[in-house]
A and B are shown apart, each in its own frame.
Chain A
Amino acid sequence: ILNVEQSPQSLHVQEGDSTNFTCSFPSSNFYALHWYRWETAKSPEALFVMTLNGDEKKKGRISATLNTKEGYSYLYIKGSQPEDSATYLCAFPYGGSQGNLIFGKGTKLSVKP
């Protein structure tokens, strides 16, 4: 059974703090890793799709790195703002590059002004 683990489960930071959290996934038969942001009362929104070992992607103050050999990805937020408060989900396709996604439980980030 494939498992996608995210840690920590929740995180509380002050505005301006930088933070990071982890997604762990099976390192064998890797195809891609997806990151989503889900703000309360809104739709989950795609952040990144990462496919190459060593890949680093950036969107504003948010960046992500990927290590496919050891099976983890880090998501970094630089200078957190209250609007960054959301649940961050990672997902791993199983069964091939066109496989369905297995999601982690997410990391819930709260940024206090």
Chain B
Amino acid sequence: DAMVIQNPRYQVTQFGKPVTLSCSQTLNHNVMYWYQQKSSQAPKLLFHYYDKDFNNEADTPDNFQSRRPNTSFCFLDIRSPGLGDAAMYLCATSRDEGETQYFGPGTRLLVL
């Protein structure tokens, strides 16, 4: 089945130690999104790619970076994780902007 896959499902990192979360899709969708969801909060968009074009949200900290080497893969890099970055990170895809988004199961990040 076509799907959105996120690895790992759980990630533990140390304060200040760079960490990379990965997302892959078999849907061949043009758009890939990264969301951050903290406990009891709404998922918040960090950035998205339309094909190779990167679109950063204005309030996304510089500590968060992303790479999309090809259509199928997208990575979220957190350069120096702080305790406040502990959250669920969701990846999603859509065929075009504004269309239904298809989500991965998320990676829960714990920062020690």
Binding site for B on A (CB under 8 A): 4, 9, 31-32, 34, 36, 41-46, 49, 89, 93, 96-106
Contacts and interface: CB of A to CB of B under 8 A. Distances in A.
A71 B43 CA distance: 21
Given A89-B43, A106-B42, A101 B101 contact: yes
Interface of B: 4, 33, 35, 40-45, 48, 57, 90, 92, 96-98, 100-106
Of listed A31, A100, A104, residue having the most chain B CB within 10 A: A100
A103 B106 contact: no
Contacts of A102: 42
17 contacts: A4-B42, A9-B40, A31-B98, A36-B103, A43-B4, A43-B105, A43-B106, A46-B101, A46-B102, A93-B98, A98-B98, A99-B97, A100-B97, A103-B44, A105-B41, A105-B42, A106-B42
Contact of A101 (B40, B41, B45, B105): B45
Contacts of B35: 103
Contacts of B92: 44
Given A104-B42, A105-B40, A106-B42, A98 B100 contact: no
B40 A100 contact: no
Nearest to A39: B105
A3 to B, nearest CB: 10
Nearest to A5: B42
Contacts of A103: 35, 42-44
A98 B96 contact: yes
Nearest to B91: A43
A46 B100 contact: yes
A43 B42 contact: no
Contacts of A9: 40
Contacts of A45: 103
Contacts of A32: 98
Given A31-B98, A42-B105, A43-B103, 6 more contacts: A43-B102, A99-B97, A100-B33, A103-B43, A103-B44, A105-B42
B69 to A, nearest CB: 22
